[in-house]
């Protein structure tokens, strides 16, 4: 595993939108009219143009979030990721997005204190193999995401209200059509982690867990009845999909986190094993 391979995964991440998302956007087109439809057409054209020219589809190349499975040294993987980000920043290129939160100073490296954001996932690690899922999360959609600590008597209805309120308040800001990641249970940070992790699951496969699947099925039409539409200019396509992950939680708590994701859901999987490095789509 070396830095140039990490940089290559980042280049694909930024320039080549996953097909399941592009497919959903195309399906939405027929339901839109007027300027909303024109905006959606530009968005779809941009996806093909960026892929063909190998250009970052959006100038906000995001905050990179890594979900890593590895049985060996985490320090080595972290070092390689940091080097890979430096390389990708120069070569893809990435916009230098990372700043000191207090001074707003930008060192131009996309690296800093406790950054990049790397989650080491414990389940399913195999010796001699590293699996890495990478997301590029833009600020437009991250900024309107929210966490709630509900009281348990709010129940499933309360969870849904959190989602609808978050999406309605976000309006056109997160570049709709959006994808909603919903994390339920666990703890404050665990719900937020699950909400983001849920976004890694493709939209073209049905969710296996029946509780999650039911919430997803019920929430999508409710969100789309808000009428926010492409870029918030009105229409049916407010969301392309909802993805739910959940965990058991404390008997007195009901943590809920809503991760709003713009149409530019940039995710990629990279694997290093005995046969070398490859990208999985």
Partner 1 sequence: MGFERLQDLEVKVLGSYRLRTVLEEADVRQLRVGDVAYLSGAVFTMRDMAHLRALELLRRGEKLPFELKGGVIYHCGPLIKGDVVVSAGPTTSMRMERSEPDLIGFTGLRGIIGKGGMGNGTREALKKHGAVYLEYPGGAGALAARSAKRILGVYWKDLGEPEAVWVIEVADFGPCFVTMDSNGETLRKKGKA
> In whole angstroms, what separates CA 69 from the centre of its chain?
18
Q: Please say which residue, 49 or 120, places its beta carbon nearer to partner 1.
A: 49
Residue nearest to ligand SF4 according to CB distances in the complex: 138
Residue 262 within binding range of ligand SF4, rule CB under 6 A? yes
Residue 264 within binding range of partner 1, rule CB under 8 A? yes
| Contact with partner 1 (CB under 8 A) among 171, 220, 226, 249 | 171
Could you tell me the two tokens for 237? 């396509």
Residue 94 within binding range of partner 1, rule CB under 8 A? yes
Residue 248 within binding range of partner 1, rule CB under 8 A? no
Residue length of the chain? 281
Distance separating alpha carbons of residues 150 and 8, to the nearest angstrom = 42
Phi and psi at residue 267, in whole multiples of 5°? -140, 150
Nearest to 90 by CA among 110, 112, 104: 110
Site string for ligand SF4, 57-76 (x = CB under 6 A): -x-x-x--------------
How near is the Cβ of 83 to ligand SF4 at its closest, in Å?
24
Contact assessment for residue 273 and residue 128, using Cβ atoms and an 8 Å cutoff: yes
Counts for the chain of helices (H) and strands (E), in that order: 8, 9
> In whole angstroms, what separates CA 10 from the centre of its chain?
14
The neighbour count for residue 126, using CB atoms within 10 Å, is 11
Residue 264 within binding range of ligand SF4, rule CB under 6 A? yes
The neighbour count for residue 31, using CB atoms within 10 Å, is 15
Q: Which does 35 bind (CB under 5 to 8 A by kind): partner 1, ligand SF4, none?
A: partner 1
Q: Please say which residue, 80 or 141, places its beta carbon nearer to ligand SF4.
A: 141
Site string for partner 1, 32-71 (x = CB under 8 A): -xxx--xxx-xx-xx--xx--x-xxxxxxx----------
Residue 186 within binding range of ligand SF4, rule CB under 6 A? no
| Chain contacts with ligand SF4 (rule: CB under 6 A) | 58, 60, 62, 138, 140-141, 174-175, 262, 264
């Amino acid at each position: 595993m070396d830095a140039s391979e990490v940089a290559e995964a980042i280049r694909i991440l930024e320039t080549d939108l996953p097909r399941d998302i592009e497919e959903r956007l195309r399906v939405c087109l027929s339901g839109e009219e007027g300027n909303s439809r024109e905006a959606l057409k530009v968005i779809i054209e941009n996806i093909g143009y960026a892929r063909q020219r190998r250009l970052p589809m959006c100038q906000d190349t995001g905050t990179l979030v890594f979900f890593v499975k590895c049985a060996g040294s985490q320090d080595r993987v972290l070092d390689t990721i940091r080097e890979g980000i430096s390389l990708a920043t120069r070569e893809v290129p990435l916009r230098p997005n990372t700043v000191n939160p207090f001074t707003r100073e930008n060192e131009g490296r996309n690296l800093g204190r406790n950054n990049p954001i790397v989650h080491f996932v414990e389940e399913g690690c195999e010796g001699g193999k590293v699996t890495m899922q990478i997301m590029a999360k833009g600020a437009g959609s991250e900024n309107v995401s929210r966490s709630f600590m509900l009281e348990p008597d709010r129940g499933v209805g309360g969870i849904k209200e959190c989602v609808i309120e978050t999406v309605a308040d976000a309006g056109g800001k997160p570049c709709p059509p959006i994808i909603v990641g919903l994390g339920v249970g666990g703890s404050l940070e665990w719900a937020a982690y699950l909400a983001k992790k849920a976004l890694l699951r493709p939209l073209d496969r049905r969710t296996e867990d029946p509780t999650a699947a039911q919430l997803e099925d019920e929430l999508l039409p409710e969100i789309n009845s808000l009428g926010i539409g492409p870029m918030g200019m009105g229409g049916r396509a407010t969301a392309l999909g909802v993805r739910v992950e959940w965990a058991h939680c404390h008997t007195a708590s009901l943590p809920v986190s809503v991760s709003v994701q713009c149409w530019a859901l940039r995710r990629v999987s990279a694997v290093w094993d005995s046969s070398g490095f490859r990208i999985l789509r």
